[in-house]
Structure 1
């Protein structure tokens, strides 16, 4: 099966500060890769390389001509003061295929309606993004990422600001979408994603690819990935030490 994206011996840096070194990763159709690692380890930089937002110092990024990437950023990077409505945010997802000056057609507006219905925000087309909660912003930008019908979906901490009900719906949706596209999911919550993804990439300066979602604390230590694995299972949970109530 032809890869959609290949990273070969990537080194990426900001000025002289090397963030990623000797990174190799191959993304095939219908992959579902969980990307984990400590803050500052290079997860976001890895995404920027994949999205062509930064040029690596060395190495190569090889993409199939068929690649169409949808991207859901962290919503805390979005300027809520920017004068744009929900409809306009979602429609901006069409720029992956269309030119910015092309007029919106009826089919595209219908797709906006369908996406807003899915996220439970019917008839919210003209609401400014400055009036949205963090969870609502995340939902709207998910719609934007899906608008162009990508075959690679990149999500950067998608559950950070969503409520628990939509979080469950989000993960169910990703399971369905994975039959149509490859998914890269960045998360700090190893317990949650380990029950969803197919494989795991630990990013901490370099990248260690684990060809399974079965991962242990011992494996994480061997990958120099200082994250505590809390639990596996269909219902992720955090186990707390016993303590007395005052």
Structure 2
């Protein structure tokens, strides 16, 4: 199953590479060159298909948990000053996606969208410390029943040139459902209340809509 954001690119790539394979068959006289061109075309098509794959994920919905919004590796866990929306200290958890990861963004929690904004910007490598504030990005805030407001930020990487964000202010969203897509390399930052209990570690690999990123303290459940 492929994400709808990749359908146009997949079709264009398929027809272009099919044409290259056919042309190579008829017009390239050197056997090994012909084979190399055709194999390269097939590998490019496979790479495009795997990038836009959209595996079906059914989240076990839980108001007491924040789930990973994307697949990838945890690269940041720290207390920071969030200056765009909260303007106070939050726990930041950042997940880096390589080109081989699934790039679908999924809602990390159920609730109502309070804030959704796109920012044009630079294309620093996604792990750069300033990418969260200077790169092309979107910021989304969800008001949740147990955590209050939480924020996630889609950040374009050095290869990315388009972020797709489906969140609209005022709508109710469901944990684990499709929230958007980032094309060709990226990162997602989560900003959570300071009393959140982080349940992942640095360099841990996580799966969107499956891995629990944080829970609320027991005293806050009552």
Fold-level similarity (TM above 0.5): no
TM-score (norm 2): 0.25
Larger fraction in helix: 1
Q: Max radius of gyration: which structure?
A: 2
